[in-house]
Structure 1
Amino acid sequence: MMRWQANVLIVFVALIWGTTFIVQQTGMENIGPQYFTGVRFLLGALVVLPFALREFRKIKREGRSLSRGDMFGLLATGIAMYLASILQQIGLMMTTVTNAAFLTAFYVPTVPVLAFLVFRARPHWSVWPGGAMCILGTYMLSGGNLSALDAGDFWVMSSALFWATQVVLIGVMVSRTNAPALVSTTQFVIAGILAMVMGAMTETFSFADIYNAGFEILYAGIMSVGLAFTLQAVAQNYTEAADAAIIMSAEAVFAAIAAAWFLGERLAPAEYAGCGVILAAIVGVQLLPVMGRRRRVVV
């Protein structure tokens, strides 16, 4: 696969993730957030399971095994994915798709900060103005009044911290195990089981509800969880991580376009400008470090 082909594939991944915000919201008309999340992730795990089993057999043939630290890391990754997903899902019940997509993208500048706090990996200087731009963009997105942000927006913003945690942890676990499909499937199963357990405690289970939300669950489970995460792993073997991150951040733009097309959501000009500021911060945090490295190489 050529690099440009990999980048096109990542654009497709961003398109899937962006449009998934639509079905995540419309699915709530028929089923609660816990059961929606649980069924979605368990379905996605089934899609990736054959690849995970192949990697597991390869590990056995090589005489390797998962250590206790690996098992703990996989558990932590799955818990982080569950918390990120359910906070976002609950938030979508109370805010717009456009707001949710752009506020979720806070995880991009959060990742290097979290990596520094946990692993002492010093972030690039661009993280700090990027964070300030995200705050400014949020202020503009609220219409110049932070009190205009509703509860759903804050639920989604809190999910960004756990998305950042999941991104850091999955990078560590894939590096430790050299088995991306196995890591992905395990975190999907953990997130799915946690959501189903919480659903049993807080929601009413009904096969009729699952049937009524069938399209949304199938799209979110097969396309977003199973297909998109797998394609992302494949594509990133052929392109730079910075390129991939920049392209994947376009999911927020795709979500805004889809929300306008399918749900009739509209923002004021200042609110669209706020989305633009957040997107610029996301792209800048990923692009400026790469530009600096390339400039030093040329010199």
Structure 2
Amino acid sequence: MSDAHKSDLFLVMVTLLAAVSWIFSKEAVLLMPPLLFMALRFLIAGSFLALFAWRPLTRLNGDQLKRGVGVGLVFGVAMSFWVMGLFHGTSLGEGAFITSLGVVIVPVIARAVFKEIQPASTWFAIPVAIAGLALLSLRNGFQPEPGQIFFAMAATVFALYFTLNTRAANQRTVINRQGKTVEKIRIPALPLTAIALLTVGLVTLTESFIAEPWRPTFGAPPPLLIWWVLASAIVGTAGRFFVQTYAQSLSTHSHGAVILVLEPVWVTLFAAGWFGENMTPMQLAGCGLIFAALIVNRWSALSKALKTALRKRKTG
């Protein structure tokens, strides 16, 4: 199996872990301030990964550390918007689909900001994905409310984060202002993830310290809250983002981000089972369009695999 195919499979796993994390996070923000929850979640997750990444972390140079923190700062802004959307939002499924708009924005940002060439299949997949997202999240008309606005802002910043994370996880050469070729050494997946998560934790901790009351949470925390925070930190954050960063390190192209449109599909299904949210026929149609977008995006790889299988069957 090629690295590109491995990357795609790992990204599918990421969507499942992400969907589970939505459930954990929604339960937690019902019991504590949202930004404080994010701070605890990411500091625990980042510290957990840092224990395993201690030696690689000590080998990073100044440029690698700077780029890792930069990725974390952008990620921190995105997660701040996301958790406020989760706190104010009324529909978990709708929020997931609005947030996933960031996935289809990734190729646009990669092209506009970093001049990264995208395969034609990506551009064909984007309108299909947008149509699917529209059927899923805009079935009652887009009537902006605080939760929807926060999710939309998070989607835009997530697109920039995904692109920066991909570039940080892959070695590349750039031309600086003096016209010299400079090699940017890749940051290994584990230390990069640890740095980014710890940075998110510090960003949201600062925001929470300024804007939220802490005493009710630490005075008498509900026992169940501790389990939600730990599950979200270890499974939904440390596990999910390490797998995502590792997957991105296997492929230099950002078009794999289209796979992440699977996340809202899983979130909607899990929310239906956990919170009793209903799926309408229009939502099911939206899911079908999203899967169609995935097929369009990966049509080149799929067609090659089918041709190889048919050739082997004929020669066998």
Q: Give the alignment's TM-score, normalised by structure 1.
A: 0.81
Instruction: Work out whether residues 110 and 254 of structure 2, in 8 Å CA contact, stay in contact via their aligned partners in 1.
Output: no
User: For residues 155 and 243 of structure 1, do their structure 2 counterparts lie closer, same or farther at Cα, with a shift above 3 Å needed?
Assistant: closer
Matches within 5 A, 1:38-187: 38-57=39-58, 59=59, 65-67=61-63, 70-93=64-87, 94-142=89-137, 144-148=139-143, 150-175=145-170, 176-187=185-196
Q: List alignment gaps of at least 5 residues for structure 2.
A: 171-184, 309-316
Give secondary structure in 2 for the equivalent of 1:220: helix
Distance 2:33 2:118 in 1: 39
Instruction: Work out whether residues 74 and 173 of structure 1, in 8 Å CA contact, stay in contact via their aligned partners in 2.
Output: yes
1:276, distance to aligned residue in structure 2 (A): 3.3
Distance 2:223 2:202 in 1: 19
Q: List alignment gaps of at least 5 residues for structure 1.
A: none
Give secondary structure in 2 for the equivalent of 1:146: coil
Superposed CA RMSD in Å reads 3.5
Please state if 1:224 is matched with 2:225. no
Please state if 1:19 is matched with 2:20. yes
Q: Which residue of 1 aligns with 2:297?
A: 286
User: For residues 89 and 290 of structure 1, do their structure 2 counterparts lie closer, same or farther at Cα, with a shift above 3 Å needed?
Assistant: same
Superposed CA offset, 1:141-177 (max 9, x none): 3554433464323321221221111111112222233
Give secondary structure in 1 for the equivalent of 2:169: helix
Superposed CA offset, 1:28-87 (max 9, x none): 111111111111100101110123212134x2xxxx7223xx444223211211122121
| Matched residues, number | 289
User: For residues 158 and 277 of structure 1, do their structure 2 counterparts lie closer, same or farther at Cα, with a shift above 3 Å needed?
Assistant: farther
Distance 1:9 1:71 in 2: 25
Distance 1:116 1:49 in 2: 33
1:108, distance to aligned residue in structure 2 (A): 2.3
Distance 2:131 2:74 in 1: 27
Q: Which amino acid aligns with 2:292?
A: A
Distance 1:143 1:247 in 2: 21
Distance 1:127 1:20 in 2: 27
User: For residues 114 and 284 of structure 1, do their structure 2 counterparts lie closer, same or farther at Cα, with a shift above 3 Å needed?
Assistant: farther
**Segment drifting more, 267-276 vs 75-84:** 267-276
User: For residues 29 and 198 of structure 1, do their structure 2 counterparts lie closer, same or farther at Cα, with a shift above 3 Å needed?
Assistant: same
Structure 2 residue aligned with 1:200, among 186, 197, 209?
209
User: For residues 122 and 268 of structure 1, do their structure 2 counterparts lie closer, same or farther at Cα, with a shift above 3 Å needed?
Assistant: same
Q: Which residue of 2 aligns with 1:269?
A: 281
Distance 2:247 2:73 in 1: 25
Distance 1:238 1:177 in 2: 11
Q: Give the alignment's TM-score, normalised by structure 2.
A: 0.77
Instruction: Work out whether residues 121 and 298 of structure 2, in 8 Å CA contact, stay in contact via their aligned partners in 1.
Output: no
Distance 2:110 2:303 in 1: 20
Q: Which amino acid aligns with 2:43?
A: L
Q: Which amino acid aligns with 1:146?
A: G
1:263, distance to aligned residue in structure 2 (A): 0.4
Give secondary structure in 2 for the equivalent of 1:36: helix
Q: Which residue of 1 aligns with 2:227?
A: 215
1:245, distance to aligned residue in structure 2 (A): 5.0
Q: Which amino acid aligns with 2:207?
A: M
Instruction: Work out whether residues 272 and 279 of structure 2, in 8 Å CA contact, stay in contact via their aligned partners in 1.
Output: no
Distance 2:301 2:208 in 1: 43
Give secondary structure in 2 for the equivalent of 1:147: coil
Q: Which amino acid aligns with 1:231?
A: V
Instruction: Work out whether residues 180 and 233 of structure 1, in 8 Å CA contact, stay in contact via their aligned partners in 2.
Output: yes
Instruction: Work out whether residues 31 and 210 of structure 1, in 8 Å CA contact, stay in contact via their aligned partners in 2.
Output: no
Distance 2:86 2:300 in 1: 33
Q: Which residue of 1 aligns with 2:180?
A: none
Identity value in percent:
23
Instruction: Work out whether residues 101 and 130 of structure 2, in 8 Å CA contact, stay in contact via their aligned partners in 1.
Output: no
